[in-house]
Amino acid sequence: MLYLIGIGLNDEKDLSIKALEVLRKCDRIYVEFYTSSLNTSVQKIEELIGRKVELLSREEFESNFFVKEAKTKDVALLIPGDPLSATTHISIIIDCIDNGIAYEIIHSSSIFSAIAETGLSNYKFGRVTSLPWPRENFKPTSYLDVIQENKKLNLHTLLLLDTQPPMSVNDALRILLEQGFNEDDELVAVTNLGGRNQKILFLSIKELLKHDFQNPQSLIIPAKLDFVEEEAITKITEVNLKK
């Protein structure tokens, strides 16, 4: 049996009781952190469940070797957020089906639902996109196309930031300025959603750059706000500025 288990949004304490029960009976436990970053570590997870946990590199994870192990053992793969939030994880399910291996998904909290804490309606978010680090001979701009498409439909854009290495909101804002954004453009910055140090700010890029954000974090490029969204995000920002 292969278990795909969501860790949640913030740290190891987001693991559900069901997840803990399964983890304590598994033969092998793996975790991947390359699809997202959390405020936890292998050591903290091990201390919580009382079992050894092996951290997978991106190459090890993408090899799906643990699927073959699940033919004869109970194997768990811990995944940041919800197991199916990242499209990369559906390949694991397909691999299980092709090889006749039983699997179970234990869901957890995800940024795709928690983002509503900003006061913006989940129903008004369009296609999600990611902002990768620009590198030599590699400066993708496809995310700009997604943002523009969403704006035409009056939809908000959730912009996920690169995790290899972790990109900060401040890094992302500077990249957006280089790509034609104006320092007066108002964006929503979110960090540590679901955690005690959660911060949500709806400010101009110029003002956001004055703040120090901590991982994990994301940006939202908002469409036109309705009156409920505008009131909510304004008041939420006021509260967060006082923290």
pLDDT, position 85: 82
Mean pLDDT of 68-95: 89
Q: What is the sign, positive or negative, of the torsion defined by CA atoms of 151, 176, 170, 128? A: positive
pLDDT, position 79: 92
Cα separation, 207 vs 98, in Å, equals 51
Backbone angles phi, psi at 158, to 5 degrees: -85, 120
With bands split at pLDDT 50, 70 and 90, how would you rate the model's confidence at 89? confident
Residue with tokens 């939030």: 85
Output the average pLDDT for the chain: 92
Give the 3-state secondary structure of residue 68.
helix
Cα separation, 26 vs 2, in Å, equals 9
pLDDT, position 87: 64
According to DSSP, residue 28 is labeled E
Residue 130 has pLDDT above 80, yes or no: yes
Asked if 158 and 115 touch (Cβ cutoff 8 Å), the reply is yes
Domain range 112-241, CATH architecture? 2-Layer Sandwich (3.30)
112-140 residues labelled b (16+ CB within 10 A) or e (exposed)? eebbeebbbeeebbbebbbbbbeeeeeee
Mean pLDDT of 50-64: 90
pLDDT per position as a tens digit, 164-198: 888 999 999 999 999 999 999 999 999 988 777 88
What residues does each domain of the chain span? 2-109, 112-241
Asked if 78 and 55 touch (Cβ cutoff 8 Å), the reply is no
Q: Which of 46, 55, 51 is nearest to 26 (CA)?
A: 51
Q: Which of 30, 1, 99 is nearest to 91 (CA)?
A: 99
pLDDT, position 133: 92
Residue 146 has pLDDT above 90, yes or no: yes
pLDDT, position 88: 72
Cα separation, 126 vs 157, in Å, equals 6
Enumerate the β-bridge partners of residue 219: 159, 189
Mean pLDDT of 206-231: 92
Per the structure block, which two tokens stand in for 140? Answer: 């993708």
With bands split at pLDDT 50, 70 and 90, how would you rate the model's confidence at 7? very high
2-109 CATH fold: Cobalt-precorrin-4 Transmethylase; domain 1 (3.40.1010)
pLDDT, position 165: 83
pLDDT, position 195: 78
Cα separation, 194 vs 6, in Å, equals 14
Residue 34 has pLDDT above 80, yes or no: no
Indicate the residue type of 42: V
For the chain, the maximum distance between any two Cα atoms, rounded to a whole number of angstroms, is 58
From 40-44, 52-56, 117-121, the region with the lowest mean pLDDT: 40-44
Q: What share of the chain is helix, strand, coil (3-state, %, to 5)?
A: 40, 25, 40
Cα separation, 10 vs 37, in Å, equals 9
Residue 2 has pLDDT above 70, yes or no: yes
Asked if 170 and 98 touch (Cβ cutoff 8 Å), the reply is no
pLDDT, position 136: 82
Residue 103 has pLDDT above 90, yes or no: yes
